[in-house]
Amino acid sequence: MIEVVKVYVADLKPGMYVSGLDRPWLETPFILQGFRITSEEDIRNLRRHCQYVFVDIEKSRHIDYALQRKTRVQRPRISREAMFPKRRLVTYTDTADWAEEYPRAEEAVQQLSDGLEAVFQHARDGAAVDVVRVKRSVEPMIDSISRNPDACIWLARLKEQDKYTYQHSLGASIWGVALGRQLGLPRSDLRSLAIGGLLFDIGKLRVDPALLNSDHVLTSEELVAVREHVRHGIEMMAETGLMNSDVLDMVAHHHERHNGSGYPQGLSGDAIPIFARIAGIVDCYDAITSHRSYARATSPSAAIKMLYDVKDIDFQAELVEEFIQAVGIYPAGTLIELSSGEVAVVVAEYRTRRLRPRIMVVLDADKQPLTSVRMVDLLHETEDSQGRPLDIANSLEPGAYGIDMNSIHL
């Protein structure tokens, strides 16, 4: 397989092998369709004609680590059936609308939250992880996402920073089941994803909270201590006697990366168990869309772009694309600014028209709270009050304009 990376001409160095251009070769004076850069003159010639080129990693004599991380493998697309060869995949359809599902989802997520908080507290006090309670707690959430994922996705956006560790696990569980539904995995696998999402970070309960909540860049020694949460998690799961290999894979390998740059074993590609690959994606997405002690939350659309930019680098491309299909560019609970200047929150998406969701307008064009919120279906309402096209201008970071998602009642 050919490994190539997109490199802007300003970053080119002698020794790199140029295998492709940002335009047809015939539109340039280069005789050879593929050549190694041997001098600064070669780079100057490329600058005259190209903004970026594609560099073949294997044929290059100079490539630094930063570029190595951006390596993409050109390969055939892998089907769902090939990714899950021993599963009988199913097709899910929405069997409840958002308004009907929301109260059931709210009850399901509350039950899950209560169960998880109790399990974490007991484990923090030295007790074994209560896997039986975890299994019991996930069932209503799986039911809800199977019927319609939007309500649970909305609720996954409601987070308190001081409860990050367990709410991150809650969010990862919901995202994991949503992705499993998109992939067509049977209920038994949705259950594994739900349990694994809740527990893959359980080892952090044995890491110094001061390190987990640090607002400074960790030293190498501190980073090693934090990464030990994987080993702690494996040990804690061994104490439970749990035999579900998919869940155990999620605990042991959720920090492995597609290109081998992860930890603890530096596994790459297919050597990473498939459920651990899913865990890595939902772990990353939930983390970067959450407020943490050392970083502000990223908007969902920006987070999706970040995942897309590292497909087949950090995460398998097919799974990234399936995740984007599962949650959408503007998942339920996303704050958005409209072309009218008003601010709204996405309530629910249309599966086939992701850019025209149902929304709740909460601020006027002057960014002042409305006396009463206004529900808008962008699929059918295409103009604002002035007759101008009404579209989503951009997504906003969580908490923008002082909006507290927890204070919004539906």
Domain span at residue 346 reads: 335-407
With contact defined as beta carbons under 8 Å apart, do 146 and 181 qualify? yes
Q: What is the mean pLDDT of residues 221-226?
A: 91
Residue 90 lies in a domain: no
How many domains in the chain? Answer: 3
Lowest mean pLDDT among 158-167, 243-252, 269-278, 334-343: 158-167
Question: Strands of 353-363's sheet, edge to edge?
Answer: 369-377, 353-363, 343-350, 335-338, 392-395
Query: Of the candidates 78, 90, 65, 81, which has an alpha carbon nearest to the alpha carbon of residue 270?
Result: 78
Residues 42 and 7 in one domain: yes
Query: Of the candidates 135, 166, 139, 131, which has an alpha carbon nearest to the alpha carbon of residue 237?
Result: 131
Residue 228 lies in a domain: yes
pTM attached to this predicted model:
0.80
CA angle, 219 then 225 then 226, to 5°: 90
Q: What is the mean pLDDT of residues 57-64?
A: 72
Which ranges in 39-186 belong to alpha helices (H)? Answer: 40-49, 65-68, 80-83, 98-124, 131-147, 150-156, 164-183
Residue 356 lies in a domain: yes
Lowest mean pLDDT among 71-80, 209-218, 317-326, 386-395: 71-80
Q: What is the mean pLDDT of residues 106-125?
A: 93
Residues 172 and 300 in one domain: yes
Q: What is the mean pLDDT of residues 243-249?
A: 97
The percentage of the chain sitting over the pLDDT mark of 70, rounded to a whole number, equals 92
Strand partners, 72: 4
pLDDT at 407 over 80: no
pLDDT of residue 68: 55
Task: Report the mean per-residue pLDDT for the chain.
Answer: 88
Residues 286 and 377 in one domain: no
Query: Of the candidates 147, 143, 151, 193, which has an alpha carbon nearest to the alpha carbon of residue 172?
Result: 193
pLDDT at 149 over 60: yes
pLDDT at 291 over 90: no
Of 274, 298, 327, the position where a domain reaches its end is: 327
pLDDT of residue 208: 93
Residue type, 232: H
The CATH number of whichever domain residue 302 belongs to comes to 1.10.3210.10
293 compared with 327, residue with greater pLDDT: 327
CA angle, 166 then 170 then 174, to 5°: 165
35 compared with 81, residue with greater pLDDT: 81
pLDDT of residue 32: 66
Supply 106's token pair.
């709210």
Per-residue pLDDT reduced to its tens digit, 180-196: 999 999 999 999 999 99
pLDDT at 82 over 60: yes
Residues 171 and 211 in one domain: yes
What b/e sequence results for 368-401 when a residue is b if at least 16 CB atoms lie within 10 Å of its CB, and e otherwise? eeeeebeebebeeeeebeeeeebebeebbebebe
pLDDT of residue 64: 59
Q: What is the mean pLDDT of residues 260-266?
A: 91
pLDDT of residue 284: 93
Helices vs. strands in the chain: H and E counts, helices first: 15, 10
315 compared with 6, residue with greater pLDDT: 315
Query: Of the candidates 307, 258, 312, 327, which has an alpha carbon nearest to the alpha carbon of residue 6?
Result: 312
The percentage of the chain sitting over the pLDDT mark of 90, rounded to a whole number, equals 54
Helix axes 98-124, 164-183, angle to 10 degrees: 130
Give how far the C-alpha of residue 18 lies from the chain's centroid of Cα atoms, to the nearest Å: 32
Confidence of residue 160 (pLDDT cuts 50, 70, 90): low
Residues 307 and 169 in one domain: yes
- Residue 74 three-state SS: strand
